[in-house]
Amino acid sequence: MNLLVTGGCGFIGSNFIRQRLTEAGSPLQRLVNLDVLTYAGNPANLADLAGDPRYVFVHGDIGDEALVARLLAEHHIDAIVNFAAESHVDRSIDSPEPFIQTNVVGTLRLLNAARRHWSALPAGAKAAFRFLHVSTDEVYGTLHAGDAPWNEECPYEPNSPYAASKAASDHLVRSFQHTYGFPTLTTNCSNNYGPYHFPEKLIPLVILNALEGKPLPVYGDGQQIRDWLYVEDHATAIWLVLQKGRVGETYNVGGLNERPNLEIVRRICQLLNAKSPRADGQSYDRQITFVADRPGHDRRYAIDSTKLRRELGWAPRENFDTGIEKTVDWYLRHRDWAADITQRRYQRQRLGTGS
């Protein structure tokens, strides 16, 4: 297989690429990573794979149809996995337009180029070609305490500009399959966590702020519930769907780990207390700081992965206790990775280009 991965220098994409290239017996002949390298795209996430002859990095935008078309033809691409997206809810509230440009317009242009490539393939290659679009559970809106988790038949009710942009991209992918017969697959995942997670998100932010003696911000009362999915389990699910999923179908991927945000923060503090105690002997809990809730903050997310389990046999390997300990250990071993990101953001701010 020759695979094009978009947004592969981001958190989930880089974990997916690493898993694919380090797996024993991998069928990949070529993996092309197309990434425009926004603030959250970090080539250092994959620096250790740069020497792999199967791996090709291309600095570019999914919205550049001519570039995408060239890569598809030049590398004889058999499948596309689209991770490329703006993904941070807070940033979408501050400035929705980049989310529409990347998540909606960019996805449309990627689909355009991919469909033209697919249409020109010989019959066998055309039948085998796949386009997998990676999306989010946030397209479904919010749940109340007693509601059943979302399955693939639930209506879309996005509540943030980010979620709305991802919902729009999902609909575009569906429309290309229905209108043109283009062989698409979509996955909608719950909140990911694990190695290489950009430090603006809850879990890495809490770990790094704790170690630096900074406040650990918790929105509102901290009782917003998310279903936490270890990123390597998510990567495994995506690969399984790409290989065995039914064309035109959507598969929900959840971690079976619903936890309130405040519980997450306190669990991280417990682990750090044991693994990297504060110099004064006090608990990291002392750094927890409640802050004003963000506008329109969804109360609960939960994913029903029954379809993925039943049809494709997937199950997460990590529960939350094992996954969060692996995550804390990774950040303790990779303080330099986080420090490099912080330094680069600071330099951009000094240059007046924002963060």
Q: Which residues are tagged catalytic?
A: 137-138, 162
DSSP state of 100: I
How far is it, in rounded angstroms, from Cα 148 to Cα 146?
A: 7
Are 242 and 81 in contact by the 8 Å Cβ rule? The answer is yes
Burial of 148 (C-beta count, 10 Å sphere; 0-12/13-18/19+): exposed
Cα 71 to chain centroid distance, Å, stands at 23
Q: Which residues make beta-bridge pairs with 23?
A: none
| DSSP H helices in 246-351 | 261-275, 306-312, 320-333, 335-350
Nearest partner of 165 among 109, 111, 91, 100, judged by Cα: 100
How far is it, in rounded angstroms, from Cα 184 to Cα 253?
A: 17
Q: Which amino acid is at 62?
A: I
Nearest partner of 165 among 111, 97, 227, 212, judged by Cα: 97
| DSSP H helices in the chain | 11-22, 65-74, 89-94, 97-99, 107-119, 123-128, 161-180, 202-211, 231-244, 261-275, 306-312, 320-333, 335-350
Between strands 225-230 and 130-136, the pairing is unpaired
Within 8 A by CB and 6+ apart from 107, the residues are 62, 82, 84, 133, 169, 172, 173
What is the number of helices (H) and of strands (E) in the chain? Answer: 13, 12
Q: Which residues make beta-bridge pairs with 184?
A: 131
